Amino acid sequence: MNLREAGATVVVPHHSNKDGKNYQGSNNIRNSVDNMYQLSKLPSEDGRLHLHLQVKKERCAIILTKP
């Protein structure tokens, strides 16, 4: 809490278990963070690395609306 109040950003990388269904301590991690993202590797036939970044949790999401 003191780091956040001072304006710091803390990044904690974590990975799922071997079957990819869940990550250890999932409830503690999810409840403690303000934002959570999932980075997934997508299948590729062209030999390049394709990644997908998906928002899993946003505590203070910004919602844009049309005027």
CB 44 within 8 A of CB 50: yes
Give 53-57's long-range contacts (Cβ < 8 A, gap of 24+). 56/30, 57/30, 57/33
Q: Where are the beta strands (DSSP E) in 21-60?
A: 35-42, 50-58
Does position 13 have pLDDT exceeding 70, yes or no? yes
Residue (of 16, 38, 41) closest to 26 by Cα position: 16
For residue range 22-47, what is the model confidence (pLDDT) as tens digits?
655 556 767 777 788 888 889 989 99
pTM above the 0.95 mark? no
